[in-house]
Structure 1
Amino acid sequence: MKNLFLFPVALLAFCLTGFAQEALFNAQQLISPEVHEDKTVTFRLFAPDADVVEVTGDFLPTVKVETPRGPMDGPGKAKLTKDDNGVWSLTTESLGPELYNYSFLVDGFKTTDPNNPFLIRDVATATNVFIIDGGHADLFKTNDIAHGSVTRRWYDSPGLDMDRRITIYTPPGYEKSAETYPVLYLLHGAGGDEEAWINLGRTAQIMDNLIAQGKAKPMIVVMPNGNVIQDGAPGEGSKNFYKPTFMIPNTMDGTYEGAFGDIIKFVENNYRVKADKAHRAIAGLSMGGYHTLHISRYYPNTFDYMGLFSAAIMPREDATGKVYSNFDETLQTQMDNGYELYWIAIGKTDFLYEANTEYRAKLDAMNMPYEYVESEGGHTWRNWRVYLSQFAPMLFQ
């Protein structure tokens, strides 16, 4: 009996070892990307049967590409060189501090790097990432400091008639303290969801680092889903797995803005917050900037701090909801009520640059105070991460 018992145990151990070895032997044992001390980066890919291998990413000079939003700046591409072992490689010039993304093109087929397990999803596209440290990019790293917590909660939204998923960052020490905290409501752009700011935007890392450096007040950051027909991000909501799309119905027709009070109510009923105008901020990128503009004037005495990051300020045929009525009057009311900060930021080559220029002219004509930041670059997460790191230290001071 003893031998009969040992046989299946030995067989199981053999099988587990076999699976481990299979994972080992099937893996490409290459380092890619390899970041060198001089800030150059080497990419490697084993593709012995390929004719052409290229890398594309935002570390390369931009080119004009066609997108659902029209011509925009996109990443260029560079060719790798093949060695006698079938390994393709390329070493870049020295790169500046940044969180970069990239993909490979193998005979024209776009794919991720099998040697780099670190990916981000932007709408329906997954790309690899790496960090060149130093400067502002150090805010995007997980450093040896006190850390906040990130939770995904579900809240009841009577205005949208469903339970919805939301991402919430609480600052270091929140769980053990009795303090109350200010709140930043941080809104994503078209094609995003409640995962966008925490993953692509590196919100937790940025806030942890700013708080540790004493540059930002400890605050709660609330990252909702701005797509009103979704209860959660693709793969996380009740529809489960499906391909995300860029523009989802009803995202910019006033429905979301009109129901935003459900989010504020949930946060203030479930978290220790300072529930007054002086301790509420709202900001968003692109579509989220559009939402920020309209939510803050529709609830004109609710927020003391507003941030419009590359805001999608443009006429829309579906903008017929109550939220968009009496625009000039409600904007005037918002100004008359007073606020601490109305902050507008956009890149010089952003396709929304002219629309933002026109909106600033409107604010100038009515003497509505605002602060303006104009950066290099276009409609990219590289800008929006920096805007968050600039905006957060100005809040609740």
Structure 2
Amino acid sequence: MKPPIPTRNFLLGLCATLLSASVMAQMPQRTPTPNDTLKSVNVLNDKRVLIQIYAPKASEVTVGGDFLSDNKPLSLTKSDQGVWSVLTRPLTPDYYSYTLTVDGVRTMDPKNPVVKQGISSLENMMVVPGPETAFEDNKAVPHGEVREVWYSSGSLNMMRRMHVYTPPGYEKGATKYPVFYLLHGGGDDDSGWNTIGRSGFILDNLLAAGKTKPMIVVMPNGSMPLPPQTGMPNSETMNRLRDMFTVELLKDIMPTVEKTYRTLPNSENRAIAGLSMGGFQTLDVTLTHPELFNYVGVFSSGFFGAAADEADTKYAKALNDPSFNKGKKLFWVGIGKDDFVMESNKKTLALLDKHNIKYQYKESSGGHTWVNWRQYLNEYTPMLFK
């Protein structure tokens, strides 16, 4: 029996393979480097973390992040192979952000694709696993959905984005839900609570444990477009940005949510909370429109700068309203004892005390970090819509 005659396509393919092999053989071979197998974040058994980056031509490398108790960056040491490394102190299991600086230039970790986005910067994220992270981990429980929702903002005359969490089973049902508006801090955008904030997983785990009611969680972009300027915004600009957010929330964000999603009406089915700048915005919305939200949360915040001196006058109507407390089923304030905004927080509490505004207060350990804010969200959410 004669062997089969090779087809034209087979011969063309064989020629291409031989030609490719010949070309590859003539190309200069790449020299392997330590970067090929480098793992940039290594969590040791004792919860210390080894952070590394391959930068053979660099002269100085540091790393900063919210895993540092004193906020002082750590200096990395260079090996003979060009790998820079540093070993942290033992860390409490949690999710942390960090940033590398190479020769004075803020640098993303090229070996770690997990990032947190801000309005003008990026940070890498890492996890130190342990039982303490159970409330925020991605566990085998029913999961809701977090969507990126684009809408046309008439008040700002531009397209804007928010993140919206819907509980498990939302798509297949017809149930209407209460709504929780969750605000981020300065420098972040609407993705913050969904990335480093772990909000979707926190809600999923609370629901699976029967600790909270199903709800829609709206995470808007509280960072307003800045006018042309140099240096830090002055108090007048900050007041204008605060007012811009309140207007957009009332005229654009809330109407879009109530038109798009199956929401329950009225203040008893609405909650609001925010951290830092978002806490400031929460206070402003609550005291200018007390009829909107029965549940209020202020995380690591208060009236900042000149706003603290103006608050007694600006919010006089709400502060002096004897029925204000009746309209609030929950007014919750939380802050870390080492938080740098503690003075503003104390001034704000003094203002509330002066006008007999009732609130619950929690002072935790730690400072102005997501480590606290995730814990606050986990504690605050089960108290909603009772």
TM-score range, shorter chain: 0.7 to 0.9
Aligned to 1:301: 291
Aligned to 1:242: none
1:387 matched to 2:376? The reply is yes
How has the CA–CA distance of structure 1 residues 358 and 123 changed in structure 2, closer, same or farther, with 3 Å as cutoff?
A: same
How has the CA–CA distance of structure 1 residues 8 and 387 changed in structure 2, closer, same or farther, with 3 Å as cutoff?
A: farther
How has the CA–CA distance of structure 1 residues 35 and 8 changed in structure 2, closer, same or farther, with 3 Å as cutoff?
A: farther
**Residue 281 of structure 1, CA deviation:** 0.1
Q: Which one of the candidate residues 180, 193, 200 is aligned to 2:196?
A: 200
Counterpart residue identity of residue 385, structure 1: R
Aligned to 2:89: 93
Q: Which one of the candidate residues 335, 346, 349 is aligned to 1:357?
A: 346
CA distance in 2, matches of 1:332, 1:40: 52
Aligned to 2:40: 32
Secondary structure of the 2:205 match is helix
Aligned to 1:154: 150
Q: Which one of the candidate residues 315, 333, 346 is aligned to 2:335?
A: 346
1:56 matched to 2:64? The reply is yes
Aligned to 1:279: 269
Farther-moved stretch of structure 1 (258-267 vs 51-60): 51-60
1:47 matched to 2:55? The reply is yes
- The CA RMSD over aligned residues, in Å, is 3.4
Q: Is the 8 A contact 2:116 2:122 kept in 1?
A: yes
Farther-moved stretch of structure 1 (96-105 vs 44-53): 44-53
**Residue 13 of structure 1, CA deviation:** 8.8
How has the CA–CA distance of structure 1 residues 217 and 85 changed in structure 2, closer, same or farther, with 3 Å as cutoff?
A: same
How has the CA–CA distance of structure 1 residues 140 and 9 changed in structure 2, closer, same or farther, with 3 Å as cutoff?
A: farther
CA distance in 2, matches of 1:119, 1:339: 37
CA distance in 1, matches of 2:95, 2:334: 20
Mapping of residues 59-208 of structure 1, within 5 Å? 59-62=67-70, 75-208=71-204
Counterpart residue identity of residue 49, structure 2: V
How has the CA–CA distance of structure 1 residues 125 and 156 changed in structure 2, closer, same or farther, with 3 Å as cutoff?
A: closer
Secondary structure of the 1:178 match is coil
Q: Is the 8 A contact 2:96 2:196 kept in 1?
A: no
Q: Is the 8 A contact 1:348 1:376 kept in 2?
A: yes
Counterpart residue identity of residue 309, structure 1: F
Q: TM-score, normalised by structure 2?
A: 0.82
Q: Is the 8 A contact 2:95 2:196 kept in 1?
A: no
**Residue 250 of structure 1, CA deviation:** 7.0
Aligned to 1:66: none
**Residue 96 of structure 1, CA deviation:** 1.0
CA distance in 2, matches of 1:48, 1:152: 40
Counterpart residue identity of residue 327, structure 1: Y
Q: Is the 8 A contact 1:283 1:289 kept in 2?
A: yes
1:328 matched to 2:316? The reply is yes
**Residue 58 of structure 1, CA deviation:** 2.8
Aligned to 1:219: 215
Counterpart residue identity of residue 383, structure 2: M
**Residue 169 of structure 1, CA deviation:** 0.6
CA distance in 2, matches of 1:163, 1:294: 24
CA distance in 1, matches of 2:9, 2:232: 62
**Residue 92 of structure 1, CA deviation:** 3.1
1:310 matched to 2:293? The reply is no
CA distance in 2, matches of 1:92, 1:27: 21
Q: TM-score, normalised by structure 1?
A: 0.80
Q: Is the 8 A contact 2:93 2:133 kept in 1?
A: yes
CA distance in 1, matches of 2:67, 2:244: 38
| Number of corresponding residues | 364
How has the CA–CA distance of structure 1 residues 287 and 45 changed in structure 2, closer, same or farther, with 3 Å as cutoff?
A: closer
Which structure has the bigger radius of gyration? 2
Aligned to 1:235: none
Aligned to 1:2: 9
CA distance in 2, matches of 1:250, 1:10: 68
Secondary structure of the 1:198 match is coil
